[in-house]
Structure 1
Amino acid sequence: MNIMAILGSSRRNGNTEYLVDRALSGVAFKKRFLLDYQINPIIDKRHTSEGFSKVDDDYERLFAEFMKQDIIIFATPLYWFGMSGQLKLFFDRWSQYMRDDKYDFKHLMSRKKAYVIVTGDNPNPKIAALPLIQQFQHIFTYTGVQFADYIIGQGNKPEEIKNDSFSLHTATSWNKEFTEVTKLK
């Protein structure tokens, strides 16, 4: 099983990354910080004869690597009650590839399993982030991705997530699952 964590955070070593690292401790995986990639928006040309134009950025390289993965962890802080802008751009670009003959998008996506990690501290992120979890569910349903589980962690300042015992426990149980799955490889 190939596992990739896609981090939409605008900083490193934050609470979101902490949960990712805990969930994948000792497991072979690829960690990709979207802040390391130039991902430009696209102009929607789905309904024109020319279709989408090529976009000159880093997305194609990242997307090709993403499509080879079996398990994906999408991780983002809760920004204004939604996902980070970097992660939203990552998803927006799927429109371009859904129609690209280079990828059998829906078929390959239907073979993926997704997990979501969201962290925040608006006074109760476990409630405030639920619409975002629903958004992920709709994205995965639309593209055929199996939505396995999610964590909504509470923490704002670095390392505050260490006080959220439920999120830590869930990340640890994910780790056991990922460890077992990668042993079967």
Structure 2
Amino acid sequence: MTTLFINGSSRTNGNTVAFGERLLAGIPHTTLHLIDQHLNFDLDQRGTGQPQRDTRDDYEALMAQFAAADDIVIGTPVYWYNMSGQLKTFMDRWFDSFTTGFDFAGKRVYLLVVGVDDPANKATDIISKAFAESCDWLKMTYMGAATAIADGPTDLQQQATLPAEALKVRQTLVTMTQSVSRETKS
């Protein structure tokens, strides 16, 4: 059983990372920062006879880690009412994997969204459209989302407790990781 945290923020030590690391405290996981990955935009090869893939970047290595994970926690700040550009590029590239037979089915996906001003409302399209619909189409299990309000670069680190919906997502994740661990030991 493995858990992967994908940080879609341009900061490797900002609020999105703090949100993910606090949510995952005590849960073994690997953290990947998309800003540290070289990801090209989607190279659409449909109709050319060429495979739908681009081997000039880090995407395939990143997807190898994605493949090894059972639970995937994805974090993003809200930028102009949407996810970060890095995360959007990463998700656009899922089409490459889909067309080459990557098995997304059964992955459990959790979403964390950080914003300054009413992120629960401003992230509606990220949550209900981009993630829920993508998970459904790719046969992944969308496990839920949590939002947090933060402005300064260390706001989430300084909050005494995580928001209630984040604690609910954490409990779901803990339950899933424990039940898989028990099944593996049997």
Q: Structure 2 length as normaliser, TM-score?
A: 0.86
- Could you report, residue by residue, the CA deviation over 1:69-90 in whole angstroms, capped at 9, with x for unpaired residues? 1110110000111111111111
Could you tell me how far 1:164 is from its partner in structure 2?
8.9
* Separation (CA, whole Å) in 1 of partners of 2:119 and 2:160: 12
3-state SS of 2:22 partner: helix
Q: Which residue of 1 aligns with 2:76?
A: 76
Q: 1:93 to 1:145 in 2, by over 3 A?
A: same
For residues 1-185 of structure 1, the aligned pairs below 5 Å read 1-100=1-100, 104-105=101-102, 108-121=103-116, 123-134=117-128, 135-161=130-156, 162-163=158-159, 167-184=162-179, 185=181
Could you tell me how far 1:163 is from its partner in structure 2?
4.9
Residue type at the aligned position of 2:59: Y
Instruction: With a CA cutoff of 8 Å and minimum separation of 6, indicate the structure with the bigger relative contact order.
Output: 1
* Separation (CA, whole Å) in 2 of partners of 1:20 and 1:53: 30
3-state SS of 2:131 partner: helix
Q: 1:95 to 1:158 in 2, by over 3 A?
A: same
3-state SS of 1:82 partner: coil
Instruction: Extract unaligned runs of 5+ from structure 1.
Output: none
* Separation (CA, whole Å) in 1 of partners of 2:6 and 2:150: 19
Kept in 2: contact 1:4–1:72 (CA 8 A):
yes
Q: Structure 1 length as normaliser, TM-score?
A: 0.87
Kept in 2: contact 1:3–1:70 (CA 8 A):
yes
Residue type at the aligned position of 1:36: D
* Separation (CA, whole Å) in 2 of partners of 1:80 and 1:70: 31
Kept in 2: contact 1:19–1:168 (CA 8 A):
no
Task: Count residues with an aligned counterpart.
Answer: 178
3-state SS of 1:109 partner: coil
* Separation (CA, whole Å) in 2 of partners of 1:176 and 1:98: 30
Residue type at the aligned position of 1:76: T
Kept in 1: contact 2:114–2:149 (CA 8 A):
yes
- Could you report, residue by residue, the CA deviation over 1:83-129 in whole angstroms, capped at 9, with x for unpaired residues? 111111111111111121xxx42xx31211110001011x3222111
Residue type at the aligned position of 1:152: T
Could you tell me how far 1:53 is from its partner in structure 2?
5.0
Q: Percent identity?
A: 30
